[in-house]
């Protein structure tokens, strides 16, 4: 799994790539919760995620719920079809805010 964190228009953009599985999801969780602690709107780019399991999804849910509590934005962008399928199986595609592209997300807020 690879990841980057950058700022765009005052928002945090977290990009993950590769496989977010049980071996790597603790790192994904750590990265996401560090971003949450900065109390900024977060966009999570999943375009490069070829595989995600329940532990990776759990990291997203935990970060999402933490942002809800503090009143900041959290959305997913450019979700790879493989990851989208897993979100659909979990019925989380209806829970998360999902944008087709980062530009679309930044245009409308997290």
Answer for which of 2, 7, 30, 89 binds other proteins (CB under 8 A) is: 89
DSSP β-bridge partners for residue 2: 17
Q: How far is the CB of 5 from other proteins (least distance, A)?
A: 21
By the 8 A CB rule, do 89 and 53 touch? no
Q: Which residues, numbered 21-80, are part of the site for other proteins (CB under 8 A)?
A: 21-23, 51, 53-55, 57-59, 61-62, 65
Q: What's the rounded Cα separation, in Å, for the pair 33 and 42?
A: 11
Q: What's the rounded Cα separation, in Å, for the pair 41 and 75?
A: 8
Q: How far is the CB of 77 from other proteins (least distance, A)?
A: 20
How many other CB atoms sit within 10 Å of the CB of residue 15? 19
Q: What's the rounded Cα separation, in Å, for the pair 44 and 55?
A: 16
Stretch touching other proteins by CB under 8 A, among 6-14, 18-26, 37-45, 70-78: 18-26
Comparing CB distances to other proteins, the nearer of 7 and 23 is: 23
Which sign does the torsion angle of CA 51, 102, 74, 93 carry? negative
Number of residues that bind other proteins (CB under 8 A): 22
Residue numbers at the binding site for other proteins (CB under 8 A) = 19, 21-23, 51, 53-55, 57-59, 61-62, 65, 82, 85-86, 89-92, 95
């Amino acid at each position: 799994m690879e990841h980057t964190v950058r700022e765009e228009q005052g928002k945090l953009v977290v990009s993950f790539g590769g496989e977010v599985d049980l071996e790597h999801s603790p790192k994904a969780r750590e990265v996401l919760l560090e971003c949450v602690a900065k109390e900024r709107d977060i966009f999570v780019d999943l375009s490069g995620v070829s595989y995600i399991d329940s532990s990776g999804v759990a990291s997203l849910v935990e970060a999402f719920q933490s942002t809800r509590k503090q009143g900041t934005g959290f959305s997913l962008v450019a979700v790879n079809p493989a990851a989208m399928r897993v979100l659909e199986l979990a019925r989380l595609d209806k829970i998360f805010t999902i944008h087709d592209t980062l530009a679309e997300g930044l245009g409308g807020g997290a």
